[in-house]
A and B are shown apart, each in its own frame.
Chain A
Amino acid sequence: MLLPRLLRTSSFRLTLAYAGLFGASVLILFGVIYWATNLYITGSLDAAIDSDFTELTNSFETGGRGRLVQELESRLREMPRGPMHYLLEDRNANSIAGDLPPLTCGARHFDLVVHHRGARGGSMRIRCGALSDDDFLIVGIDAHSREEMHELILRAFGWGSGITLVLAFGGGMLLSSGLLRHIEAISKAARTIMAGDFSRRIPVRDADDEFDHLVASLNAMLDRIQSSMETVRQVSTDIAHDLRTPLTRLRQRLELARLRARSSAEWRAATADCIAEVDAILEIFGALLRIAQIESGTAAGEFAEVDLSDLLTTLAEVYEPMAEENNQSFTTKISPGLRLMADRQLIGQMIANILENAMKHSPSGSHIELSTYVSSSGITVVVSDNGPGIPLSERSNVFNRFYRIDNSRGAPGSGLGLSLVDAIAKLHHARVQLADNDPGLQVNLVFPLLDSIALRSGHDTSV
Chain B
Amino acid sequence: MKILVIEDDAETADYVVNGLREAGHLVAKAATGGEALTTAMEEDFDLLIVDRMIPGLDGLRLVRALRAAERDTPVLFLTALGGVEDRVSGLKAGGDDYLVKPFAFSELSARVAALGRRPRSTSEVVTLRVHDLELNLLSRSVRRRGEPIDLQPREYRLLAYLMQHAGQVVTRTMLLENVWDLHFDPHTNVVETHVSRLRSKVDKGFGPELIHTVRGAGYCLRAPA
Which residues on B sit within 8 Å (CB–CB) of A319? 186, 188, 190
Are A321 and B83 touching (Cβ within 8 A)?
Answer: no
A/B interface sample: 10 pairs, CB < 8 A? A279-B102, A286-B82, A290-B82, A317-B154, A318-B190, A319-B190, A320-B190, A321-B190, A348-B184, A352-B184
Which residues on B sit within 8 Å (CB–CB) of A318? 180, 182, 186, 188, 190
Is residue B88 contacting chain A, with contact meaning CB distance below 8 A?
A: yes
Are A314 and B82 touching (Cβ within 8 A)?
Answer: no
Are B188 and A346 touching (Cβ within 8 A)?
Answer: no
Which residues on B sit within 8 Å (CB–CB) of A356? 186-188
Are A321 and B189 touching (Cβ within 8 A)?
Answer: yes
Are A314 and B181 touching (Cβ within 8 A)?
Answer: yes
Chain B residues near A (Cβ < 8 Å): 82-85, 88, 102, 154, 180-184, 186-190, 192-193
Are A349 and B184 touching (Cβ within 8 A)?
Answer: yes
Contacts A286-B82, A290-B83, A302-B88 known; A345 to B190 CB distance under 8 Å? no
Are A302 and B85 touching (Cβ within 8 A)?
Answer: yes
Chain A residues numbered 264-311 whose CB sits less than 8 Å from any CB in chain B: 279, 282, 286, 289-290, 293, 298-299, 301-302
Is residue A89 contacting chain B, with contact meaning CB distance below 8 A?
A: no
Docked Cα-Cα span, A260 to B128, in Å, equals 52
Chain A, residue nearest B152 (CB): A317
Taking A319-B188, A324-B193 as known contacts, 7 extra A-B pairs with beta carbons closer than 8 A to each other, sorted by chain A number, are A282-B102, A293-B85, A298-B85, A299-B85, A302-B88, A314-B181, A352-B186
Which residues on A sit within 8 Å (CB–CB) of B192? 321
Are B184 and A345 touching (Cβ within 8 A)?
Answer: yes
Neighbour of B188 across the interface among A302, A321, A345, CB < 8 A = A321
Q: What does DSSP make chain A's interface, helix, strand, loop or mixed?
A: helix
Which residues on A sit within 8 Å (CB–CB) of B183? 345
Are B84 and A302 touching (Cβ within 8 A)?
Answer: yes
Chain A residues numbered 328-360 whose CB sits less than 8 Å from any CB in chain B: 343-346, 348-349, 352, 356
State how many angstroms separate the Cβ of B107 from the closest Cβ of chain A: 12
Chain B, residue nearest A275 (CB): B104
Chain A residues near B (Cβ < 8 Å): 279, 282, 286, 289-290, 293, 298-299, 301-302, 314-315, 317-322, 324-325, 343-346, 348-349, 352, 356
State how many angstroms separate the Cβ of A326 from the closest Cβ of chain B: 10
Neighbour of B85 across the interface among A289, A301, A324, CB < 8 A = A301
Chain B, residue nearest A351 (CB): B186
Which residues on B sit within 8 Å (CB–CB) of A325? 189
State how many angstroms separate the Cβ of A440 from the closest Cβ of chain B: 21
Chain A, residue nearest B187 (CB): A356
Closest 5 CB pairs of A and B: A321-B193, A318-B190, A322-B188, A293-B83, A349-B184
Chain A, residue nearest B86 (CB): A293
State how many angstroms separate the Cβ of B141 from the closest Cβ of chain A: 22
Which residues on B sit within 8 Å (CB–CB) of A301? 85
Docked Cα-Cα span, A302 to B83, in Å, equals 11
Which residues on B sit within 8 Å (CB–CB) of A324? 193
State how many angstroms separate the Cβ of A7 from the closest Cβ of chain B: 50
Which residues on B sit within 8 Å (CB–CB) of A352? 182, 184, 186
Docked Cα-Cα span, A344 to B88, in Å, equals 12
Chain A, residue nearest B188 (CB): A322
Which residues on A sit within 8 Å (CB–CB) of B88? 302
Which residues on A sit within 8 Å (CB–CB) of B84? 299, 302, 343, 345-346
Which residues on A sit within 8 Å (CB–CB) of B82? 286, 289-290
Chain A, residue nearest B192 (CB): A321
State how many angstroms separate the Cβ of A140 from the closest Cβ of chain B: 95
Which residues on B sit within 8 Å (CB–CB) of A317? 154, 180, 190
Are A314 and B182 touching (Cβ within 8 A)?
Answer: yes
Chain B, residue nearest A344 (CB): B181
Docked Cα-Cα span, A358 to B104, in Å, equals 30
State how many angstroms separate the Cβ of B65 from the closest Cβ of chain A: 23
Docked Cα-Cα span, A403 to B106, in Å, equals 34
State how many angstroms separate the Cβ of A305 from the closest Cβ of chain B: 15
Neighbour of A299 across the interface among B83, B181, B193, CB < 8 A = B83
Which residues on B sit within 8 Å (CB–CB) of A286? 82
Are A348 and B189 touching (Cβ within 8 A)?
Answer: no
Which residues on A sit within 8 Å (CB–CB) of B188? 318-319, 321-322, 356
Contacts A293-B83, A302-B88, A343-B84 known; A314 to B184 CB distance under 8 Å? no
Docked Cα-Cα span, A315 to B82, in Å, equals 22
Which residues on A sit within 8 Å (CB–CB) of B187? 322, 356
Which residues on B sit within 8 Å (CB–CB) of A321? 188-190, 192-193
Docked Cα-Cα span, A302 to B88, in Å, equals 8
Docked Cα-Cα span, A349 to B84, in Å, equals 11
Chain B, residue nearest A321 (CB): B193
Docked Cα-Cα span, A298 to B88, in Å, equals 12
Are A289 and B83 touching (Cβ within 8 A)?
Answer: yes
